[in-house]
């Protein structure tokens, strides 16, 4: 028998000789002696050796534990890369009596690096998400799909859309959102590109533009419909525009007979003098050459100053007409994180200690896109950083509850991989810098490997393989939103019916 427990406020544990007790932080026999412990507080600092009574070697130990609200609750907010990593780590490190609860708005983990391929109909949207319950498998941590509305740090509780969640220790990993820098009309008139839904909606809109353009006989109107502008020359913007370029050359050019290749115009607008900030000048030059060769217009030092329903203004002068302006230009943390006390950096990330603890609240850890660690204030908002911080946060929560010294987070640059559409990518990992077809194969292999779950890996690999033989699946999945042409047509249709 390992443990027999009667839980009635007073708990009795029977421990057979020499069996290693695994009562987590309550410690146990090390094969030589058994220990018992009286705990009179939920305060972890009392769980020290002084509170333990040693039983002689070889005895049958009877462990009496007075349980007074012993069960501690660790709550993790956000089921993205960082939060999930933290929950999985906590599961391994905390004793079974402790509650671990993961709260997230979505019931899935989204593999963001493949989002551009959703917008270009290359892969099925379902194939880049994995439900948290599937990832959890047989692990014991609890999951709650819920939206966090506010955090009361003083009362140690989280207020969610469906109730109140008390915590003893909190891990905040709520990710980020788009930043519009106060540019007039940007939020209302551009297509956001952060979530799975954003990518699916954008995909349907792009297809809708092609459908309308196909039967629009007036050339100028057709060109306006087929002018696609991506604001932001970072990794996401560049990957998105090259994916769209593949889509037009491989699919639209073949299937839409009313559209000529010259009708499509793809433009990237970047406010700074450079795109793909962070990669070497040599690789950047390769990337630029590649984009130009594909007919993508890259406009640097082009600061967006105004956005309208079907135009974008740059540098307070030039107007570009477009029915599709996608915003990938900036990130900002969620308002919940911005409202946390203590210092914040330029994008609103909570500036936390090297152990990822919030200033003045050692029981609160902040990770991923939400955090700027004191030891790595310039760490980029990318998945490897989020995953590493999630792991450190889990270990530090365990250390914190045991009253041990905490670990520091240090940033390790894991390199950059940027896909530039079919058959071409640039790879920069330390001294390893290359571009071209092998870089593209490497990009594919790494992303396939990083996808969570064999099923998803196979599904994406199949999408890629089938895409080389069969045409893309370009069915519009939902009624296109914000389509002025459809809205007009629907209005006219109703009027006609009413007049009959």
Ligand X SMILES: Cc1cc2nc3c(=O)[nH]c(=O)nc-3n(C[C@H](O)[C@H](O)[C@H](O)COP(=O)(O)OP(=O)(O)OC[C@H]3O[C@@H](n4cnc5c(N)ncnc54)[C@H](O)[C@@H]3O)c2cc1C
Binding site for ligand X (CB under 6 A): 78-83, 103-106, 112-113, 115, 147-148, 173-175, 193-194, 236, 334, 336, 368-370, 381-384, 386
Query: Residue 260 in contact with residue 249, Cβ under 8 Å?
Result: no
Q: Smaller CB distance to ligand X: residue 81 or 143?
A: 81
Considering the complex, state which of residue 25 and residue 145 has its C-beta at the smaller distance from ligand X.
Answer: 145
Question: CA-to-CA distance for 366 and 172, rounded, in angstroms?
Answer: 5
Of residues 194 and 472, the one with the C-beta less far from ligand X: 194
Kindly state the smallest distance separating residue 192's Cβ from ligand X, in Å.
Answer: 9
360 exposed, middle or buried (CB, 10 Å; 0-12, 13-18, 19+)? Answer: exposed
Q: What are phi and psi of 308, to 5 degrees?
A: -115, -175
Could you tell me the smallest distance in angstroms from the CB atom of residue 5 to ligand X? 34
Show the tokens assigned to 354.
């090297």
Give bridge partners of residue 131 from the DSSP assignment: 108
CB nearer to ligand X: pick between 19 and 105 = 105
Q: How far is the CB of 233 from ligand X (least distance, A)?
A: 14
Q: For the stretch 186-220, what's the b/e string if a residue is b when 16 or more beta carbons lie within 10 angstroms of its beta carbon? A: beebbbbbbbbebbbbbbbbbbbbbbbbbebeeee
CB contact at 8 A, 350 and 370: yes
Nearer to ligand X, 211 or 369 (CB): 369
Six token digits for residue 259: 């559209």
Residue indicated by tokens 């071409």: 424
Strands 311-314 and 304-307: antiparallel
How many helices and strands (H and E) does the chain possess?
A: 14, 30
**Which is nearest to 119 in space by CA: 228, 211, 224, 232?**
228
Minimal distance, residue 125 CB to ligand X, in Å: 13
Helices (H), 94-185: 115-119, 132-136
Q: To the nearest whole angstrom, how small is the minimum distance from the Cβ of residue 355 to ligand X?
A: 17
Task: Tell the residue number behind the tokens 């107007």, with chain if given.
Answer: 319
What is the gyration radius of the CA atoms in the chain, in angstroms?
27
Q: How far is the CB of 104 from ligand X (least distance, A)?
A: 4
In terms of CB distance, is 197 or 404 closer to ligand X? 197
Sign (positive/negative) of CA torsion 460, 466, 471, 473? negative
Closest CA to 415 of 432, 392, 439, 437: 432
Min separation Cβ 97 and ligand X, Å: 26
Q: Which residue is nearest to ligand X (CB)?
A: 80
Q: How far apart are the C-alpha atoms of 169 and 357, rounded to whole Å?
A: 11
Question: Closest separation between CB of residue 379 and ligand X, Å?
Answer: 10
User: From CA 250, how far away is CA 174, in angstroms rounded?
Assistant: 37
CB of 147 to ligand X, least distance (A): 4
Instruction: Indicate if 239 belongs to the active site.
Output: yes
Catalytic choice (91, 239, 270, 313): 239
**For residues 39 and 387, which CB has a smaller minimum distance to ligand X in the complex?**
387
Comparing CB distances to ligand X, the nearer of 39 and 392 is 392
Nearest to 208 by CA among 191, 193, 196: 191
Q: How far apart are CA 92 and CA 451, in angstroms?
A: 22
Give 196 or 213: the residue with its C-beta nearer to ligand X. 196
- In whole angstroms, give the CA distance from residue 446 to residue 457: 11
Q: How many residues does the chain have?
A: 500
The neighbour count for residue 338, using CB atoms within 10 Å, is 14
Locate 443 and state its tokens.
Answer: 């990009």
Between CA 275 and CA 269 the distance in angstroms is 9
- Least distance to ligand X from the beta carbon of 248, Å? 20
Residue 246 or 369: the one with the smaller Cβ distance to ligand X is 369
Kindly report the number of other CB atoms within 10 A of residue 111's CB atom: 20
**Catalytic residue positions, numbered:** 239
């Amino acid at each position: 028998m390992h443990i027999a427990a009667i839980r009635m406020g007073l708990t009795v544990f029977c421990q057979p000789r020499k069996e290693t007790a695994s009562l987590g932080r309550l410690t146990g026999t090390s094969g030589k002696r058994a220990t018992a412990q009286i705990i009179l507080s939920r305060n972890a600092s009392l769980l020290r050796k002084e509170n333990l009574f040693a039983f002689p070697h070889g005895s049958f130990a009877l462990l009496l534990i007075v349980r007074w609200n012993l069960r501690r609750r660790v709550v993790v907010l956000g089921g993205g890369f960082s939060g999930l990593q933290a929950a999985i780590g906590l599961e391994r490190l905390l004793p079974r009596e402790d509650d671990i609860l993961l709260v997230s708005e979505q019931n899935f983990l989204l593999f963001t690096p493949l989002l551009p391929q959703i917008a270009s109909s290359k892969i099925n949207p379902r194939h880049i998400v994995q439900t948290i319950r599937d990832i959890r498998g047989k692990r014991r941590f609890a999951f709650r799909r819920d939206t966090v509305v506010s955090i009361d740090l003083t009362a140690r509780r989280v207020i969610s859309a469906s109730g109140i969640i008390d915590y003893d220790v909190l891990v905040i990993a709520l990710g980020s959102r788009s930043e519009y820098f106060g540019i007039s009309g940007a939020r209302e008139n551009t297509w956001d590109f952060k979530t799975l839904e954003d990518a699916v909606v954008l995909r349907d809109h792009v297809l809708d533009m092609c459908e309308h353009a196909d039967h629009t006989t007036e050339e100028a109107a057709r060109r306006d419909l087929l002018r696609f502008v991506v604001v932001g020359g970072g990794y996401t913007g560049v990957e998105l525009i090259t994916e769209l370029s593949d889509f037009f050359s491989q699919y639209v050019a073949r299937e839409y007979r009313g559209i000529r290749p010259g009708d499509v115009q793809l433009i990237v607008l970047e406010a700074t003098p450079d795109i793909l900030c962070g990669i070497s000048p040599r690789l950047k030059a390769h990337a630029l050459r590649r984009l130009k060769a594909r007919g993508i217009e890259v406009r640097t030092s082009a600061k967006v100053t105004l956005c309208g329903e079907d135009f974008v203004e740059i540098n307070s002068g030039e107007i570009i007409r477009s029915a599709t302006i996608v915003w990938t230009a900036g990130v900002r943390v969620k308002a919940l994180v911005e409202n946390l006390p203590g210092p914040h950096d330029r994008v609103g990330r909570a500036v936390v200690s090297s152990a990822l603890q919030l200033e003045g609240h050692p029981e609160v850890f902040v990770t991923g896109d939400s955090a700027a660690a004191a030891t790595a204030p310039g760490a980029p908002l990318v998945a490897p950083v989020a995953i590493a911080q999630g792991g450190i946060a889990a270990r530090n929560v365990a250390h914190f509850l045991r009253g041990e010294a905490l670990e520091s987070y240090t940033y390790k640059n894991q390199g950059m991989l940027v896909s530039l559409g079919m058959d071409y990518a640039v790879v920069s990992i330390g001294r390893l810098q290359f571009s071209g077809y092998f870089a593209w194969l490497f990009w594919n292999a790494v992303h396939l490997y990083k996808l969570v779950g064999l099923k998803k890996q196979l599904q994406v690999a199949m999408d890629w393989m089938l895409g080389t033989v069969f045409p893309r699946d370009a069915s519009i999945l939902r009624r296109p939103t914000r389509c002025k042409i459809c809205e007009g047509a629907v209005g006219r249709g109703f009027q006609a019916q009413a007049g009959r």
